[in-house]
Structures are given as C-alpha cells and as structure tokens.
Amino acid sequence: MTHKEHEHAHAHIGPATYYKIFAALMVLMFLTVGAWWVETVVEIPRALGVFIALVIASTKTVLIVLFFMHIKVSSRVVQLYAIAALFGLLFLFVITMGDYIARGWPPQLGPLP
Amino acid sequence: MRDFPLFPEQASTFAGPVDALYWTLVGLSLIFGGVLPFIILYLMVRYHRSQKADRTNQVHSSLPLELTWTVIPLVLVLAVFFWGAFLYIEIRNPPDRSLEIYVIGKQWMWHVQHPNGKRENNELHVPIGQPVRLVMTSQDVIHSFYIPAFRVKQDVLPGRYTTMWFEATEPGEYHLFCAEYCGTEHSLMVGRVVAMRMADYERWLTTPGEIILPDGSTGGAVASPLVGAIGDPMVLAGSQLFATGLGCASCHRNDGLGIGPNLEGIYGTEVRLDNGELVFADENYLRESILNPAAKVATGYANVMPTYDGQVSEDQMNQLLAYLKSLGAADAE
Amino acid sequence: MATTALPGHNYLQDDASTVGAWFKSWFLTVDHKRIALLYLLSINVFFLLGGLAATVIRVELITPQGDLLSADLYNRAFTLHGIIMVFFFLIPGTPAVLGNFLVPLMIGARDMAFPRLNLFSWYLYMAGGLFALTAAIFGGVDTGWTFYTPFSSTYANSNVILTIAGAFIMGFSSIATGVNFIVTIHTMRAPGMTWFRLPLFIWSSYATSLIIVLATPVVGITLLLVAIERIWGVGIFDPALGGDPLLFQHLFWFYSHPAVYIMILPGFGVISELIAAFSRKRVFGYEFIAFSSMAIALLGFLVWGHHMFVSGQSVYAGLVFSFLTMLVAIPSAIKIFNWTATLYKGSISYRTPMLYALGFMGLFVIGGLTGIFLGIVAIDIHVTDTYFVVAHFHYVMVGGAIMAYLGGIHYWWPKMTGRMYSEVWGGISALIIFVGFNMTFFPQFVVGYLGMPRRYHVYPEEFQVLHVLSSAGATILAIGFIIPIIYLTLSLWTGKEAGNNPWDATGLEWQVSSPPPTHNFLEIPVVTTEAYAYAPDAAEQDAANWRPGSPL
Amino acid sequence: MRRGREAHPPASRIPHPAARILVSKEKILATTTTTTSPHGHADHGHAAHGPELQHHFCTPAQQKEAATLGMWVFLVTEVMLFGGIFMAYAVYRWAFPEVWAEAAYHLNTPLGTINTVVLLVSSLTVALAVSAAEAGKRTRVIQLLLVTMVLGVAFLGLKAYEYSEKFSHCAGYSTPAQWVGGGEQHAVYECLVPGQAFLFPADKTTGVSNAPTVAGQGTPYQLFFFLYFVATSLHAVHMLIGLTIMGYLAFITWRGVITPTYFTPIEIGGLYWHLIDIVWVFLFPLFYLVH
Ligand code: HEA
Ligand code: HEA
Ligand code: CUA
Ligand SMILES: [Cu+2]
C-alpha cells in the first residue's frame, strides 16, 4: 500500500494561499495583543483572559499546521502523528492538573486530607 | 537470627482489614498464578511433539473465549479495586477526636513533639485505643514515616504538611522506618514506636526524660526542672512566640481591632480571600499565611503582613500552629 | 569472525583488507544488522556492569550490619545498578538489538528508513553510557534511579549532573530508534505486507516506539530542569525555591511508568513469535494480541500516579490512578491467555528459546499479579518502598523482559550468526536461571510484606534469613547468566551451520540465508499470506514425524 | 482466522544462490514469492533515478513519505519536550495567578510583539521557499532562505537584548550599553534573573505596598522568571539549530542538489522552522500577555 498511496502528486498549496494565511496570522496576532491591551482597562475574569489568549494561539497553530506545514494535503498517517502530540499533551495536562486541583497545592488540601 | 517471622505483627485497627484484602488477593492470584502455570505445564506435556494427540480441527480465534478472559479478570480487579478504595478512604480520613502529635523529619532522624511539649527523637510513644493523627513536615528532603505493624506510611515533604492517622491496638514496641530514600543514612533513620495503655502514656508524658533541644540534638547532662526537660508545652510556647517572640499579637488582636484579622477560631474554618475564593484554613494554609502572607490575602485586609520566612524554625512553626489551633478549640467549647 | 564456512555474501563478511577499513566497516556501518550487533555487544557489557553492582548489593545484604560497604557506597551501588539496568540495558535492550535486526527483515525491507540515524542512535547510546560510567568512576551517584527532588537537585553531593547528562543523551538515542521504527513500519513494508499480516513482534515494536516518542522527551526536559536547578541553584522543584517536589514526580513518572512498557512490550512480541514457532501453529487470537499491545501503549500513559500513592498527591488522584491501573492489567491478561491457548493442540518442542518463553509466562504472571497488589492503594500504602516492590519489578523485568530477551537472542542467534549453539547447555542454563531467579526474588515478597524498606543496607536482624536466601539465589542466577555468554560465544567458532530456517518457522526473516545478505532481500518479496501461515496440519505432521532421537 | 490460508503462493524461483528462499519442507507454507521487480540487487544502482534515491528505498515517493513522516514524528517529540515546561508553567500559574500578573508586567511586551511579527514573517518566507523550490526557481529559494535567516538572527538579537537588559539591571545599570560603558545606575533596584541575587521590586501599578519592597529567591516570583528564561532559551537553542538547517539548505540549493522533483530537504527543514514558530506563538501570550 505504501508504494501506491503516494504516486499521485499531492494537492498543491501555492504562494497565494501562503499570503492569505500570513495575513490571517497577523490579524490574529494583533487580536491577541489587542485583547491584552483592552484587558488592562476593562476588568474581565482572569480565566477568560487566559482562555482568549489560548484560543487565539491555537487558531494560529492550526493555520500554520494545516497550510504552512501542508498537513491539509499530507497522507493520513502524517496527519495522525500531527494529532498524536495533542493527545500526549492532553494526558499530561489533564491528569496532572487534576491532581493539583484536587490536592489544592498550595496550600489547602481540600476536603480530604 | 533468633526468630524469623514470615508475617508482620498486627498492631493497629488497619492491620486486620489490610491483611484480609491482602490474603484475598493472594488467593485470587493463586487461581491465575498458581493454576495457569499448571495448565501451561499440562498443555506442554500433553501436546509435546512426541505425544500422540488429536491435533486436528484447530481453532485460531474465538470471540466468546476472548470475551470470557477479558471480562472475568476485569470484574475481579474492579471488585478488589472497590474494596481497596473504601479502605483507602478510611485510612486517609482521621476521626475528629484524634490526638495530634507533631513530627519533623530531617536528615537523618525523626523529631517528635507531643502536645504537652514533650519531645523525643527517633521514638514515638502513642496510647492504644486512641486515634492518633501525625502532622508531619520535613526540614530538608522527602522522608517517609512508616510503621509496618500498623500498615501505615506517608511521605513527609519539605515546605508543607502531610498527615497520617492510626489507632494502635496492641501495646508493644514496633519498628519505625524512613521509607523514602533520603540520602546517605537513610537506612539509619529508623526508630521505634512504643504503644502503651492510655494511663501509661499519660504517665510517660509527664515524666522528664532525656533533654531534647528544639534543634533535635540531645542536651548535655544538665539536671533540669521538670518542665524544662519535657519541653515547653506546645501551646504555651506558641502563645509566647505569638505574643512577644515574634510580635504577631501587635497586629492580630483578639478584639478584632488590629491591623490583621482576629485569629480566634480560624483553624478548620473557611476563609474568604480578597479575590473572592474560599480556602479551607488547615495547617498548610496557616503555614503559608505566616511564611508567605502575600499569596493569599484575607478579604478586607491589606497585604501588609511581613513574611516570617527564615525567621521561624519548623519547630516554632509547629508551636505557633498548636497555639492557633488551641484558640479554635477554646472557641468551640 | 571465523565465518568462512558460512554462505557467502552475508552481512558479516568484510571486503576490508586493512584494520582501518575493518573499523570503518563496523563503526561507520549503516547496515541495521551490524548496528544490531554493535548494540548487542555494548548492551551486554552494560548488563554485566549492572549485574556486578547487583552482586555487590546482594553480598552486602547477607548480614544485617553494614559491614562490607559504607552507607554511601551502598547507595551508590544500587543507584548505579538501577540506572544501568533501566536506562542502559533494558530500555534499549530488546528494541535496539532484536528490533534493529528484525524489523526490516520481518517486513521485507532492505534497511531501516533512516540508516544513518540508526547508527547515530548507537553513538548517542555509547555517549550516554560514557557519561554514566564517567560519573560512576568519579565517585558515582547516590540519588537512586528515580532522582527524587529536592534530594537530587540540592542535597546530594555526588555526580548527579554527569549521570543526568548520560540519561538525557541516552533518551535521544531511544527517540532516534523509536522514530526510525515508526517510519520504517509505516513506509517500508514489502508489497502485500498489510498490517494484519505483520508478525506480532512488529506490532509490539510499533507500540513501543509510540511510547518512546511520546514519553521520552518529557523525562528529558525534566532531568534538564533538575540539572539546571543543581548547577545554578534556581529552579522549580525545590520548596525552598518556592516550587513543588511532587511536580518532579509527576513528570518523572509520566515517562517512567510508560517506560516499563517500553521494556516489556518488545518482550511480549518475542514471546508471540516463540510460542507460534515452537507450537507449530498460528498464534491464537492474533488481532487481540496485536491490539492489546496498542491498548497497553495507550493506557500505560494514564496510570503513572500509582508510584505516588503515599507521596502526598490528592486522595482523588490516588483513586483514579488506582482504578486505571486495574484496567491496564487487562491487555496483559489477554496476551497471557492467548498464548496459553496457542499451546492447545500444538506440537510443542522444548528447544532452548521455548524454555525461556515458558519461563517468561510463569514469572511474568507472578510479577504482573503482584503489580495488581501494588495498584490497590490500601495495600500499596503498606508495601510501597519495601522489598515487595523490589520483588515485583524484578519479576517483571528480569523474569519477564530478560527472559524474553534471552529467548529472542537464542531464537534468532542462528539467523544473526549462521551458527547453532549447544542446546544441552541452553536447556541447563535456562533451568538454572529459573531456579536461581525464584530463589532470589521470591523471598523478597515475604520480607517486603514484613516491612523491610528498600534502599536499606542496614536492617533489623529478623529479616536476615530471607536475605541470605535471596543472596544465595542470586549466586545461582549469576551462574545462569554467565553460561549462555560462554556457549554462545563458543558457538561462533564451533557451532554447526544453522541453515536458513533451523526452526522451520514462518516469517520473512527465515526465508533469507543465515546470516542474511547485506541488503537483506536481493529482490523485494511480495507477501501473499499472513505472518503465521502454518499449514492446518503442520502440528500434526510435525508430531507424526517425530522419532525418538529427534530434538525434544 | 483462516484468512489468507487458501492463497497458496506460486512456487518460488531461486534468484540467487546467496539468497535461497527456503522452499518450505512440505510442512510450512512459504510466505513469500519473489517478484520480477526491476530492483534486483545486481542492477540496483543510482542510474535509474536521481542520485538522491537511497539504495534501500524503492521509489522516490516512498523516500519522500518516509522523510516527511520521520520529521513529523520527530516534531511530536519536540512538542512533548516543550510540553514538560508548559506543564510546570500551568501548575505554577494556576497556583500563583497574582504573582504571574505582577511578574509579567516586567517583561518587555513591545519587543515580544515585534519578535512575534518577525517570526511569523519568517514562517511565510520559508513556506514561500518551498513553493519556489517546487517551481524550480533556484535563486529565489536561496533568497528566501537567506531572508529567513536574517529574520531568525533578528529575533535572536532582540531576545539577546531583552536578556541583557535583565542582566544589566542585576548589575545595577539601566541598559546593557550603560553596563558595558559604565553609565548611570538603574533607578529601581531589581534583579529578575533567578538566583541568589533575585530581587523583585514592589509594583506601584498594582497598588500593593508590600512592606519589604523586594522578594527573595524563595518566592513564586522567581518561578515565573525561571520558567521564562528556561522556555525562551530552549526556544532560542532551537532557533540556532533552525538557522543552521536553513544555512545548510541554502548551501545545497546553491550546489544544485535541490530540483523541482527533489526538494524534500527544503520541505522538512521548513517543517522544523514552522514548529519553532508555533512554540513561540504559545510562549508569547503565556509570558508577555498575562494579567
Ligand atoms: C517491565 C517492567 C514492568 C512491568 C511490565 C510492570 C507492570 C505492572 N506494574 Fe510495575 N513497576 C516496575 C516495572 C514494571 N511493572 C518498576 C521498575 C517499578 C518500581 C519503580 C521504582 O520505584 O523504582 C514498578 C512499580 C509498580 C508500582 C508502584 C509500587 C510502589 O512504588 O509503591 C505499581 C503500583 O501500582 C505497579 C503496578 C504494575 C501493574 C499493575 C502492572 C501490570 O502491567 C501488570 C499486568 C500483568 C498481569 C496482571 C499478569 C498477567 C495476567 C493474568 C495472569 C491474568 C489474570 C489477571 C487478573 C485477574 C488481573 N508497578
Ligand atoms: C533490568 C533491570 C534489572 C535487572 C536485570 C536487575 C537484576 C538484579 N537485581 Fe536489581 N534493580 C533494578 C533493576 C534490575 N535489577 C532497579 C531499577 C532497582 C532499583 C534501584 C533503586 O532503588 O534506585 C533494583 C534494585 C535492586 C535491589 C534493591 C536494592 C535496594 O533497594 O537496597 C536488589 C537487592 O537485592 C537487586 C538485586 C538484583 C539482582 C540479584 C539481580 C540479578 O538478576 C542480576 C544477575 C546478573 C548478574 C549477577 C551478572 C553476572 C555477572 C557477574 C557476576 C559479573 C561479571 C562481571 C564482569 C566480568 C564485568 N536489585
Ligand atoms: Cu529519611 Cu529516608
Ligand atoms: Cu508503574
């Protein structure tokens, strides 16, 4: 199968797309800095601020990965591996933070000691 | 090499349940670990190439079989899991009326202080029939307080408190080990736990013993009065530190008119912080409030309390805590 | 090597006429088979070093006093033992030796996808080993192989940084191997070699590589942070600096629990091959064994906190980790049962590799089941950091992983060298190892439940009887490990020619000459059948052809 | 599972004495047959295809897929490497949100923003370089790669300036230039480099007048700057490696190795560069944009 699968030249991402993506990235970047600027003036919950920043960063990542890094037109296996890292991080973050939130470090220990 | 036991003594209320679970597991394991090898042995002999046997109609896969040996072990492990889980929750939940004893681990000794101030090194005297809660911290690296006969163990961490509880049932002397590797003399960080009847324990508490200084060393052969030898009762020592030694009382007045909040009855309550969160005021919270007051600021108060980091030893910290807790207890009555 | 009598054009032959050219042909080789041999030699040297440290440990523990070694030396001995055995023997062991040799052969490829990366990974391995050995020579380390902070980052005064550097570099060697396997298995399979025709060894190697790739970098960065904390006194793991020591444990075990599956999964793969070959049967429940490898790789990432039950992590976390630990045992159970079922109606022969495979089954089951004990928090509170844990992991690592490794070495030895070894000695040593092993480590379960903490060189007198028993067993075990080294080495000169397929096994690797030609396949094979394509009556035929005097 | 059993392979041909395919002695079925593939060893040379096809691959497409997948798997490991640092970051930010907000105030956000732009542009130039290589525009590839390198160096330069500012404050000077030239002293006494000398200034903007104006090494402030330095310097190390790769790619393009049919090196080198960019995309808001 591996021999057949890639005979066809993969679909093409050209300079025009690159420029568009780049423009989108710049817009997102100014959005995130802008949001930060606004937050210095307007009080919003801290978690929301973090959330906004992370959503924008993730969007940028998705754009870069899909277009600059050609994942959109890559083979299925490569696409899977691009996602694999996400799962690895998910395991690490969710479980570890789970412990911290339940443990309450520092300092209070939560209902169970 | 006089006697060599094959099974540890049972000397606490946990020993029985833990051992019961253990023997159940051994039994279950024998089904797999004991029977399976014999099945394998049987098959090996039965179907050895030199044996005439029926080898036709081979099966190469069978979903019902696969499901059987997936589901049965699954059910078994889940059963033992739940058994163990409830026991675990019990082991981690001290009853309300437990005796509190403070333990400090340091390379390479255990330093213990009883509520009345009596200190001991590498020994722990406890009454039987009485839940005992150990409040433990370390001065340097991670240690672990382990009493095999009681089936309890808990790591002791620097920079925070961990707790552990047990109720001894049999008078006697038991091993006390440091179970977390902590450096060169890890294996010498051992001692003994002496479980005694309540009356004996009380007598022991008030008997002067060896003089043990707050830094953990044993003092010289100074003939000293009773109180000095036992050590300062913890609450008293704490109240002295609070009032004069560290000057806490200048801000924390019990009439509520000080710069800082009134600390009476604070232990065990929920405190509202200036960011709206509620925190549970346990040992770790009090400790942090003293060492790093800026981290969690009580609502309605300015963040002006100085840090006492580096100024209070672990020993004094324990005394302050004992004092703060006693304020709460007094309140409750 | 005296391989003149072997078929020509094999990978062992050199056209090299000068010593320099000979060195080049071995130390700059990009042939996966030669790299496997480089690994074989170097890894076994490390095993002997680790074993030497184990010997020292066991001798010291004969008496309850610390009379042979000072406390400090003892700590350095078990640390050296743990680090060498884990990082420099067992983690690279089966994948880098057997995996390197077999993966391309089994899938019908001429080489790994990245041959130079493969060579590079061996050099990284050697560099890492060199660092670790330098650390050992200049006084050693005394942190235990787990490097718990703040002891390792602040208090230990031994060569922590050098050792960490060694483990760090070795980690990248592991990563290189993992990347290579993944890419090779995905892109280099011969035409017709579909996923469900792959030998199970390939499946398990793939699962192993997945773990390596996802987990190893995390321990890399963690150790790096410890080193920084140590060098500059700034950091995030020491409470004195405002940090949390449990964060270190989380990050460390995020790698090191999956790492135990890095050690055992390739072993599972080997056992599948052995059981099939010596029962002359298709493996029972092929798909289930294949998928259980993947399940272990995935679930293995969710249970690391079972090493931290008494560390001060939250009670909730303890419960969740305990629950997930129960689940991770199930795929292993599936494998064991399927292997047992494979024996049924097989035509079993007691050749040396098969003896190891059977030893594996018995010992791994004990090790695995005691893992369940440890996974139940209420029990673990009592036995964690005691010899019960030591016994558990030696049962799975020595009784499981090493048995599989030795079985694999014996099984593919004829393929690697073209020579047979003495099966009599093979059987004897397998038996000695089995007996010695149980005698060494079974008493440790007992002494562990009694409460004997690990990493103690001075202990209460009442534990002595069991320790003496254990040390006596270790002597037998050591003899058992030394015998194969002797007869395998001798076989290079005296062994009789093996022929292409001495075991009458299936699999592409048995279709090429022994030793295989440099480029494995002169023509890339086209695969039309699955991995264990024994005829339905293969077992029957085999038994029918048995005469007194043929191999048992 | 009887799948495949029926498919008895045709009898094997023996192609070469050294590679006798063992025709199973009646008991086992050979699992392979040989093909009349054009890749027999004897005639296997580099003549049939470009010199870039390594001997162990069958087709250029296979080689390319291997290279791409290999790079991606490697990138997964890189993500996990940074993942460890982000994990520590998450824990401590969760534990000390105020500290984070105060500490981040002391980073140079405008410079960080400029650096983000610089990196995003460099990502664009790399992507364009891949296109150019595909189109066979050799000089344009080299130009774009060189522009990328210039941008990368600019990034590192700005980063170095940021670092040196922190260090010069520790030494008591306002700017690195004054530090070197021995100029005037810094107004605020602060040292944001983790270590013995770490001093965190009381922050006027948040209205807190903590009695001691400085916090020592044991405080969570130090954690922020420790993570900042570790994460950004690890990122910088990756930039250095990336620059080397870019230089190498420009070199081999100049040597004519890269052709419209063989430009895999540019592609996978580009992947690496993009990953560095992505890491920065996260580092920037997480360190510079905190409240
Ligand atoms: C090859 C290495 C390897 C393997 C495969 C395993 C496998 C397992 N391990 Fe082990 N483990 C280690 C190496 C390994 N371990 C090491 C090195 C340590 C100590 C580290 C240190 O602190 O230095 C350790 C420590 C360790 C601990 C921590 C102990 C402590 O420090 O307190 C725990 C706790 O849960 C544990 C559990 C398990 C479990 C549940 C499995 C399971 O995967 C086992 C699954 C297998 C079976 C269950 C047997 C086969 C199944 C059957 C026969 C069917 C019947 C089964 C049932 C009914 C369940 N291990
Ligand atoms: C793959 C892993 C592996 C292997 C194979 C072994 C093999 C052995 N281990 Fe080890 N062990 C660990 C991994 C392993 N161990 C780990 C991870 C630890 C924890 C470390 C820590 O706490 O940090 C540990 C800890 C450990 C302890 C506990 C120490 C303590 O906590 O105080 C003990 C004690 O009995 C022990 C014994 C043995 C023995 C007798 C063997 C035997 O099987 C070894 C038999 C082999 C030989 C004896 C080699 C034969 C060769 C010679 C005798 C010498 C010839 C030498 C030359 C010519 C150079 N090991
Ligand atoms: Cu204290 Cu070990
Ligand atoms: Cu584990």
Are residues D73 and D43 located together in one domain of the fold? no
Average pLDDT, chain D: 77
Most C CBs within 10 Å, among A87, A92, A101, to test the C interface: A92
Q: Do A102 and C187 touch (CB under 8 A)?
A: no
> Rounded to the nearest 10 degrees, how much is the dihedral formed by the CA atoms of B178, B181, B187, B193?
0
Q: Looking at per-residue confidence, does B260 or C326 come out higher?
A: C326
Q: Do B88 and C377 touch (CB under 8 A)?
A: yes
With an 8 Å Cβ cutoff, is A14 touching chain B? no
C306 lines ligand 1 (CB under 6 A): yes
pLDDT at B65: 85
Against chain A, the chains showing at least 3 CB pairs within 8 Å are B, C, D
Are residues D79 and D3 located together in one domain of the fold? no
Taking only the tens place, the pLDDT of each residue in C7-66 is: 557 788 777 778 888 888 888 888 899 999 999 999 999 999 999 999 999 999 999 988
**Strands, sheet with B119-121, edge to edge from the N-terminal-most edge strand:** B119-121, B109-113, B99-106, B131-138, B162-167
Q: Looking at per-residue confidence, does B237 or B79 come out higher?
A: B79
Give the Å distance between the CA of C143 and the centre of ligand 3.
12
The residue whose CA has the least distance to atom 38 of ligand 2 is C54
> How many A/C residue pairs have CB atoms within 8 Å?
57
The sign one gets for the Cα dihedral C161, C165, C171, C174 is negative
pLDDT at C86: 94
pLDDT at B219: 53
| Least confident range of A44-53, B88-97, B263-272, D248-257 | B263-272
| Least confident range of A82-86, C75-79, D41-45 | D41-45
pLDDT band at B195 (very low <50, low <70, confident <90, very high): very high
The shortest C-alpha distance from B292 to chain D (Å) reads: 8
With an 8 Å Cβ cutoff, is D114 touching chain A? no
pLDDT band at D218 (very low <50, low <70, confident <90, very high): low
**What region, left, alpha or beta, does residue C109 occupy, with left being phi > 0 and alpha being psi -120 to 50 degrees?**
beta
pLDDT at D63: 87
Tokens of C55: 């010997």
What's the CATH architecture for C27-538? Up-down Bundle (1.20)
Average pLDDT over residues D249-272: 90
With an 8 Å Cβ cutoff, is B62 touching chain D? no
Which H or E run includes B102?
Answer: strand B99-106
Cα distance from N-terminal residue to C-terminal residue, chain C: 31
Residues with a CB atom less than 6 Å from ligand 3 = B 105, 108, 143, 178, 180-182, 186, 189
Residues of D in contact with C508 (CB under 8 A): 31-32
Taking only the tens place, the pLDDT of each residue in C404-421 is: 999 999 999 999 998 999
Whether D9 shows a pLDDT value over 60: the answer reads no
pLDDT at C3: 41
Average pLDDT over residues A24-36: 91
Provide the β-strand partners of residue B192: B123, B175
Residue numbers of A between 54 and 83 with CB closer than 8 Å to D: 54, 56-57, 60-61, 64-65, 67-70, 74-75, 77-78, 81-82
* Residue among D246, D251, D244, D197 nearest D225 (CA): D197
Distance CA B318, CA B224 (A): 24
With an 8 Å Cβ cutoff, is C245 touching chain D? no
DSSP annotation string for C479-537: HHHHHHHHHHHHHHHHPPB--S-TT---SGGGTS-SSPBTTS-SS-EEE-S-TT-B-TT
Q: Is the peptide bond before C150 cis (omega within 30 degrees of 0)?
A: yes
pLDDT band at D16 (very low <50, low <70, confident <90, very high): very low
Q: Is residue D53 part of a domain?
A: no
C55 lines ligand 2 (CB under 6 A): yes
Choose the most confident range, by mean pLDDT, from B217-221, B288-292, C153-157, C249-253: C249-253
For chain A, give every domain's residue range: 1-73, 74-104
Identify which of B32, B39, B76, B151 to mutate to test ligand 1's pocket (most ligand atoms within 8 A of the CB): B32
Taking only the tens place, the pLDDT of each residue in D46-76 is: 444 556 677 778 788 888 889 999 999 999 9
Taking only the tens place, the pLDDT of each residue in C163-183 is: 999 999 999 999 999 999 999
Q: At what angle do helices C245-279 and C352-375 cross, to 10 degrees?
A: 150
Distance CA C138, CA C128 (A): 15
pLDDT band at A37 (very low <50, low <70, confident <90, very high): confident
Provide the β-strand partners of residue B144: B155
Q: Which domains are seen in chain B, by residue range? A: 1-42+64-214 (2.60.40.420), 234-332 (1.10.760.10)
DSSP annotation string for B143-159: EEEEEGGGTEEEEE-BT
pLDDT at A48: 85
Cα distance from N-terminal residue to C-terminal residue, chain D: 61
* Residue among D108, D101, D241 nearest D163 (CA): D108
Residue C380 CA, closest ligand 1 atom number: 32
pLDDT band at A107 (very low <50, low <70, confident <90, very high): very low
Whether C371 shows a pLDDT value over 50: the answer reads yes
Choose the most confident range, by mean pLDDT, from B103-117, B152-166, B206-220: B152-166
Taking only the tens place, the pLDDT of each residue in B173-187 is: 999 999 999 988 899
Q: What angle do CA B303, B309, B314 make, to 5 degrees?
A: 130
Average pLDDT over residues D78-105: 89
| Least confident range of C209-218, C243-252, D28-37, D71-80 | D28-37
| Least confident range of B22-31, D70-79, D91-100 | D91-100
Q: Do A105 and B160 touch (CB under 8 A)?
A: yes
Nearest CB to B154; choose among C246, C310, C460: C310
Against chain C, the chains showing at least 3 CB pairs within 8 Å are A, B, D
Are residues D200 and D228 located together in one domain of the fold? yes
pLDDT at D50: 58
pLDDT at B212: 62
Whether B92 shows a pLDDT value over 70: the answer reads yes
Domain that holds residue D12: 1-47
Distance CA B159, CA B157 (A): 6
C103 lines ligand 1 (CB under 6 A): no
Identify which of C271, C311, C365, C372 to mutate to test ligand 1's pocket (most ligand atoms within 8 A of the CB): C372
Residues of C in contact with D195 (CB under 8 A): 232-234
* Residue among C405, C404, C416, C399 nearest C489 (CA): C416
Average pLDDT over residues D185-190: 67
pLDDT at B234: 75
The residue whose CA has the least distance to atom 1 of ligand 3 is B143
Q: Is residue D55 part of a domain?
A: no
Q: Do B285 and A105 touch (CB under 8 A)?
A: no
Closest-CA residue of A relative to D82 is A89
Residues of A in contact with B94 (CB under 8 A): 113
> How many C/D residue pairs have CB atoms within 8 Å?
228
pLDDT at A3: 42
Residues of A in contact with D207 (CB under 8 A): none
Whether B332 shows a pLDDT value over 90: the answer reads no
Average pLDDT over residues C490-515: 87
pLDDT at C162: 92
The residue whose CA has the least distance to atom 46 of ligand 2 is C51
Q: Which ligand does the CA of C92 lie closest to?
A: 2
With an 8 Å Cβ cutoff, is B218 touching chain D? no
* Residue among B240, B4, B228 nearest B119 (CA): B228
Taking only the tens place, the pLDDT of each residue in C103-139 is: 999 998 989 999 999 999 999 999 999 999 999 988 8
Are residues D10 and D130 located together in one domain of the fold? no
The shortest C-alpha distance from D99 to chain B (Å) reads: 8
Choose the most confident range, by mean pLDDT, from B26-40, B62-76, C425-439, D91-105: C425-439
pLDDT at C87: 94
Distance CA C19, CA C21 (A): 5
Taking only the tens place, the pLDDT of each residue in C146-155 is: 999 889 988 8
Q: Do D92 and C243 touch (CB under 8 A)?
A: yes
Query: Residue D39 contacts by C-beta under 8 Å, 6 or more apart in sequence?
Result: C523, C524, D58
The shortest C-alpha distance from B206 to chain C (Å) reads: 31
User: For residues C208 and C100, is the Cβ–Cβ distance under 8 A?
Assistant: no
C44 lines ligand 2 (CB under 6 A): no
Q: Looking at per-residue confidence, does D79 or C532 come out higher?
A: D79
Single pTM value for the model: 0.88
Average pLDDT, chain B: 81
Residue C470 CA, closest ligand 2 atom number: 35
Q: Which ligand does the CA of B179 lie closest to?
A: 3
pLDDT at B322: 80
Distance CA D141, CA C391 (A): 61
C76 lines ligand 2 (CB under 6 A): no
Tokens of C119: 């060579």
Taking only the tens place, the pLDDT of each residue in B246-290 is: 778 777 877 766 777 888 778 777 888 877 777 777 777 888 888
pLDDT band at B232 (very low <50, low <70, confident <90, very high): low
With H, G, I as helix, E, B as strand and everything else as coil, classify residue B298: strand
Average pLDDT over residues A12-16: 81
C307 lines ligand 2 (CB under 6 A): no
The shortest C-alpha distance from A74 to chain B (Å) reads: 36
Are residues D155 and D194 located together in one domain of the fold? yes
Nearest CB to B306; choose among D99, D211, D218: D211
For chain C, give every domain's residue range: 27-538
**What region, left, alpha or beta, does residue D244 occupy, with left being phi > 0 and alpha being psi -120 to 50 degrees?**
alpha
Are residues D181 and D114 located together in one domain of the fold? yes
Average pLDDT over residues C341-369: 90
With an 8 Å Cβ cutoff, is A108 touching chain D? no
pLDDT band at D204 (very low <50, low <70, confident <90, very high): very low
The sign one gets for the Cα dihedral C348, C527, C95, C306 is negative
Are residues D127 and D259 located together in one domain of the fold? yes
Burial class (CB in 10 A: 0-12, 13-18, 19+), B306: middle
